A and B are shown apart, each in its own frame.
Chain A
Amino acid sequence: MTSPYGRGRPLHLAAAVDQPGVHDAGAHVELTRLAERGGLDFVTLDDAFARPGPDASAVLARVAPATHRIGLVPTLTTTHTEPFHLQATVATLDWVSRGRAGWRIDVSTTEGEARLFGRRYSAPLDALWREAGEVADAAARLWDSWEDDAEIRDVATGRFVDRDKLHPVGFTGEAFSVRGPSVVPRPPQGHPVRVVDATEGPARSTAARHADVALVRAVSPGQARAVRDLLRAGAAGAGRDPDSLLVLVSLLIDLGDGEHAAEPGHGGGGPRQTAQGPLYRGGPVDLADLIASWYKDGAADGFHLVPVEPRRDLERLVNGTVALLQHRGLFRTFYPGSTLREHLGLARPANRYAGGAA
């Protein structure tokens, strides 16, 4: 695989656009447009039922018509939700964004979240992630349940669809079953991009089997590389091409106010572990250096950056760090394609039901 950057694989960059306490559309549109101006592959918007904030998939749907190229990846949790609704929501986000949707898969671990749904739930983390894997699997089958050419509009025979190309999925897992087919026709990307935070052990197997992008929170390139190797091995073990799973290092970033470290202890060295995850503090130039060095080290396929102060840090990321990486020829300066899969260099998946197999 050749790349315009003279390296084996192109560098991928994503950013979180979470803004605590913000419920209106304007601020989300503004931040996502900023990220798009930097050519980032995608933005994420986190979500959880028991925490203040709007529905993430709705916010990114609202953002979709105000943006043109950037991928939109909301978190949708699988623990108390209906797989049929989840896949329809993600597929519809792909339709409204014309192929830019992703889905950050997460689980709900607390009794408080279970109470919101009237469920009594205290399953161990690995059971929750096993269920998340089943939901991801069922969703992918439902996305395939319409073959791409199922809609025929054959006036001569009076048939709108060829029902031989619509498939019940008949999925039965440990925790749920789904009959199918979906109501939403197969989305533009075939399968919207699935993202899993694979930092914790129980999530790794689900990520290795079902994710297109795995996020790894790591404090050193060695730690990131080790998890990446595990994930790639897991993907291969599940019968996948390991290159079809991209691993991005996820870092909290505090880019301060200067070009470089603005104060003693600000910047220098790598990220530090905090209660919220590995935090990188430094100037935009320092961050560009870190990204370049970890990336050249083979620690990751790219980075997912979570600004501590969304407006300030995202702007410094785009105008400082990204600009510098572009200048050094490490990051693209334009979107060569239009779908998120195209940005990530991931193929549009073949339909498992096409060609008569059921």
Chain B
Amino acid sequence: MSGRRPRDAGPQGRRCHLAVVPHAPLRAEGASAVPGVGDTAVWSAPGARNPTRPQIEFASFERLARTAERGLFDFLLLAEGLRLPEHRGRVHDVDVTGRPEPLTVLNALAGVTADLGLVATVDAAFHEPFDLARRLATLDHLSGGRAGWHVVTTSDALTGGNFRRGAYLGAADRHHRAAEFVATASQLWDSWTPDAGPRPFAHRGPHFDIAGEFTLPRSPQGRPVVIRTVDPVNGSGEEGRGQDAPGRDDRESAAATADVVLTRHDTPEAGRARYADLKGRLAGYGREPGELRIMSAITVVLGDTAAEAQERAATIRRQQVSPRHALLALERLWGRDLSAYDPDGPLPGLDPVPEPLTGPPAGGRTRRGQALATVRRLRALSQEKGLSIRQTVIETTARQSFVGTPEAVAADLAELVREEATDGFVLVPQLVPEGLDEFVDRVVPLLQEHGVFRTEYEPGTLRSRLGLPAPVAVQDGAARRPLRPLGPQG
């Protein structure tokens, strides 16, 4: 970690960004874009209880954050939970469940880190702009400019039952609410002038009609970094947890307002196409390609040899997909009680029932058609390869994007960055909190050798480390004009 390279310029002139997400958003737009803790984290592995309850105890978040900071990561992302996942009307009991309120944890982490970006997934459907803008600005002040907001909206019918406002919104309304929410929050963040203090704001739109004065000075970043999720496949046919993927709309919102886009890694070709597509849309919003970072969610399994890595990956998959887990995965797809089936036996010969047992009514028709098609595909696969229920689920829900030696993985990641398939990676560890250690110790130094990753933190805010320009304040509908450079908080 010696020698300081020029900013944003490795030998190939490109540098990647790294982040980690221990609890992934379960209800993001394009839900399957980032795998969730539920179907990723291994709790049955020996040693998976350090500390005792790693999904909730602060010690595990502290350890993860310190490791990420040791690895010079750009940010840590924590997702919000607004209800427990359910299956057939009862709490889903096979996956890691229970999580903290993310902004509270991130504020605490601001006290034990100095450089790491701190990003919360917060739902735009069940929060209010004034309150959330204030909470995000507070995090930005308390962390000295390290706050980010991953904007999602839930389509989950059951979540509404936990809130005053009640019912969930349909896909289009959710989308518009999220867009208006971001615009309103930006208006609040911009409402303090550097010299004159607060100026009254008023916003009137279809979703929000608010007025008053924002109660915090402009925060160190001006605005926290805004992150959106884009489904890897446009109009994805992926089986989700009851989400309908707005697809193209996601890409337009991201091009219009996002500082960072999260997506899931699939193939280098798809990544390059998505990258070109998203960056190409920016011009339509008066933005430069450098004003948006695209980061892919990945999981990594390392070994001293390729064979060892494959073996570890297989072990992890067996731990992730228990016999019970395999049956529940089929029940979600079939919409039936399949508890009588043997997970080590063949797939059920039945067809899926018309109404899914979980998920919202909206999108049900599409999902039914998808379910039938998916069932046929699984049957063909299991017959061709002679796979049991559990083996079929393991085979078809693979979450391990990169399996290999540190050298091979680092070379693959560097190549994806060089060929403009992504600007960086969001790691989803299988073990929390120690699942990041090996990557930081073994892969990060190689990425540095490839010249695609920083060797020390640049001074500045999360926004500047991501290579993003300082935001220009928009006030009273005036034309965009640059703010004075934001110095360190004082």
Chain A interface residues (CB < 8 Å from chain B): 23-25, 29, 49-55, 57-59, 61-66, 80-85, 88-89, 91-93, 95-98, 112, 115-118, 146, 151, 153, 155, 157-163, 166, 175-181, 183-185
The reply to whether B325 and A158 contact each other, CB–CB distance below 8 Å, is yes
Contact with A along B267-298 (1 / 0, CB 8 A): 00000000000000000000000000000000
Instruction: Tell me if B215 and A85 are in contact (CB < 8 A).
Output: no
Contact with A along B125-165 (1 / 0, CB 8 A): 01110110011011101111000000000000010011110
Find residues 73-101 in chain B having any chain A CB closer than 8 Å to their own CB.
Answer: 81-84, 90-91, 93-101
Q: Mark B90-132, 1 if CB is under 8 A from A, else 0.
A: 1101111111110111011011100000000000001110110
Contact B131 A183 (CB under 8 A): no
B108 and A61 within 8 A (CB): yes
A275 CB → nearest B CB, Å: 22
Q: A29-B111, A65-B112 are in contact. Are A151 and B324 (CB under 8 A)?
A: no
Q: Indicate if the CB atoms of B56 and A160 lie closer than 8 Å.
A: no
A65-B62, A92-B104, A96-B58 given. 20 additional CB < 8 A pairs?
A24-B142, A25-B111, A54-B137, A58-B107, A59-B107, A62-B107, A62-B142, A65-B112, A84-B82, A84-B163, A91-B101, A96-B108, A112-B212, A146-B98, A151-B53, A151-B98, A155-B322, A157-B324, A158-B324, A160-B95
Do the beta carbons of A58 and B139 come within 8 Å of each other?
A: yes
Q: How far is the CA of A62 from the CA of B158 in the complex (A)?
A: 32
Give, as a whole number of angstroms, the nearest-CB distance from B76 to chain A. 14
A49: chain B residues at CB < 8 Å are 130-131, 134, 215
Instruction: State whether A179 and B162 are in contact (beta carbons under 8 Å apart), knowing that A24-B142, A115-B212, A166-B91 are contacts in the complex.
Output: yes
In the assembled complex, the Cα of A157 lies from the Cα of B128 at a distance in Å of: 41
Instruction: For chain B, residues 184 to 208, give those with C-beta under 8 angstroms from any C-beta of chain A.
Output: 198, 208
> A183–B81 contact, CB under 8 A?
yes
Answer whether A159 and B127 are a contact pair too, CB < 8 Å, given A24-B141, A58-B135.
Answer: no
Q: Indicate whether B303 reaches chain A with its CB closer than 8 angstroms.
A: no
Give 30 pairs: A residue, B residue, CB < 8 Å, sorted on A: A23-B216, A23-B217, A49-B215, A51-B215, A52-B198, A54-B138, A54-B142, A54-B216, A58-B107, A61-B108, A64-B58, A64-B111, A65-B108, A66-B111, A82-B164, A85-B127, A91-B101, A95-B58, A96-B108, A151-B98, A158-B44, A158-B322, A161-B91, A161-B97, A163-B91, A178-B161, A178-B162, A181-B84, A183-B81, A183-B83
Contact assessment for A158 and B100 in the assembled complex, using a CB-CB cutoff below 8 Å: no
* Chain B residue at minimum C-beta to C-beta distance from A60: B107
- CB distance A163 to B90 under 8 Å? yes
Assess the B212–A61 pair: CB atoms within 8 A.
Answer: no
Q: Across the interface, do B210 and A115 meet the contact criterion of CB distance under 8 Å?
A: yes
* Option from B56, B138, B139, B209 in Cβ contact (under 8 Å) with A184: B56
Shortest distance between the CB of A97 and any CB in chain B (Å) = 8
Question: How many positions in chain B have a CB within 8 Å of any CB in the partner chain?
Answer: 65
**A55 B212 Cβ-Cβ under 8 A:** no
Output the nearest chain A residue to B96 by Cβ-Cβ distance: A160
Residue of A nearest to B321 (CB): A158
Check if A176 sits within 8 Å of B164, measured CB to CB. yes
Task: Give complex CA distance A98, B56 in Å.
Answer: 11
Closest partner residue, chain B, to A57 (CB atom) = B104
Which residue in chain B gives the minimum CB-CB distance to A51?
B215
Q: State how many angstroms separate the Cβ of A116 from the closest Cβ of chain B.
A: 4
Residue B344, interface by CB 8 Å = no
Shortest Cβ gap from A78 to chain B (Å): 11
Separation in Å of the B50 CB from the closest CB of chain A?
Answer: 13
Taking the nearest CB of chain A, how far is it from the CB of B440, in angstroms? 21
Distance between Cα atoms of A304 and B143 in the complex (Å): 29
Q: Chain A contacts of B168 at CB under 8 A?
A: none
Cβ A92 vs Cβ B100 within 8 A: yes
B324, closest chain A residue (CB): A158
B35 to A: closest C-beta gap in Å: 17
How distant is the Cα of A58 from the Cα of B43 in the complex, in angstroms? 30
> Is A55 touching B138 in the complex (CB atoms < 8 A)?
yes
Q: For the complex, what is the distance from the CA of A66 to the CA of B96, rounded to whole Å?
A: 29
Say yes or no: is B57 at the interface (Cβ < 8 Å to chain A): yes
* B58 surroundings in chain A (CB, below 8 A): 64-65, 95-96, 98
Given contacts A117-B131, A179-B161, A159 and B111 within 8 Å (CB-CB): no
For residue B411, CB closer than 8 A to chain A, the reply is no
- Given A49-B130, A115-B210, do A153 and B49 touch, yes or no (CB 8 Å)? yes
Count chain A CB atoms within 10 A of each CB in B44, B158, B208 and give the residue with the most.
B44
B364 surroundings in chain A (CB, below 8 A): none
Confirm or deny: B247 has a beta carbon within 8 angstroms of a beta carbon on chain A: no
Within the assembled complex, what's the spacing in Å between the Cα atoms of A135 and B185?
A: 26
Known contacts A24-B489, A84-B163, A159-B324; decide if A89 and B101 are in contact (CB<8 Å): yes
Bound CA span A214–B12, Å: 64
Cα of A146 to Cα of B93 in the assembled complex, Å: 13
List of A residues within 8 angstroms of B213 by Cβ? 50
